[in-house]
Copies of this chain bind each other. A is one copy, B any other.
Amino acid sequence: MQLHLSTWKEIEEYLLRSRGIIIPIGSTEQHGPNGLIGTDSICPTAIAGKASLEMDILVGPALTLGPAQFNLKFPGTISLRPSTLISVVEDYVLSLAGQGFERFYFLNGHGGNIAAARAAFQEIYTKYSLRAEESSSPRCRIMSWWEYPKTNSLRLSMYGEKEGMHATPSEVAMAQYVYPEHIKEVRNVEWKPVPSEYLNSHKGDDHFDAEQHRRSHPDGRIGSDPSLAKPEEGQQLLETAAAEMLEDYKKFLEEE
């Protein structure tokens, strides 16, 4: 069930059955020579969409813009300041919390969103924690699709070390499956592994400024070979992730 394709009465009825919602969150930024700029939003949107066919869950409108300042020197990248994303998440959650929603599950496709989303959650909870009267805050959770254990194993079994960190074959493959008419050709990608130290010290897209980033990664890839991507692998990844998301979401709903 997609919120934007429902009427308000359908949502009113949904609230009698469930207090939870799933929100795809991605970014709009370069994804290497053949990756779509919308890749990080396309993946979680498609995973949540697939999952919503299997269980009575509500999927909210995707947040397609995130902090990606490090990619601003690649044309087409749009970056929200973290403070902007914090405001967006606050407004999103508080709007629905006022109507009875209690559990907000952000399905994430972009490492750079995690810090800002968590900061937003703490801002939201603070409002409740400072209140004198008893009150219970909504609960938020952010999970990136590649964190699900089976999905993670699958992508590594498919691409191994060439999965890399950005413009990965797994995300490119998923987007290819979703938009077959937008598969871009790429050849002769020169691949070099990225040092594990780099991966470690930049996790969560903790990258430096845009000039330096483009200098270090001239075609936009970080340690990946996205020319390996195939749409049928994307389908497998998507289905695996959708199944794992449902399990994790159910646990989140049942918590405490």
Residues of A within 8 A of B (CB): 2-12, 14-15, 28, 30-38, 41-42, 60-62, 64-65, 67, 69-70, 72-84, 86-88, 90-92, 94-96, 98-100, 112, 114-116, 118-123, 125-126, 128-130, 132, 134-137, 139, 141, 179, 182, 184, 197, 201, 204, 206-212, 216, 220, 251-252, 256
Q: Shortest CB–CB separation between residue A71 and chain B, in angstroms? A: 8
Contact B75 A100 (CB under 8 A): yes
Chain B residues near A212 (CB-CB < 8 A): 136-137, 256
Contact A129 B210 (CB under 8 A): yes
Cross-chain pairs A/B with CB under 8 angstroms, 16 sampled: A3-B37, A6-B37, A7-B35, A9-B33, A15-B75, A67-B122, A72-B129, A77-B99, A79-B126, A81-B123, A83-B86, A84-B88, A87-B87, A125-B210, A137-B212, A212-B256
A33-B7, A77-B8 are contacts. A206–B118 as well, Cβ < 8 Å?
A: yes
Partner of A201, one of B32, B41, B141, B182: B141
A33-B7, A75-B100, A80-B88 are contacts. A112–B116 as well, Cβ < 8 Å?
A: no
Bound CA–CA A87/B35 (angstroms): 28
Bound CA–CA A207/B7 (angstroms): 21
The residue of chain B having its C-beta at the shortest distance from the C-beta of A88 within the complex is: B84
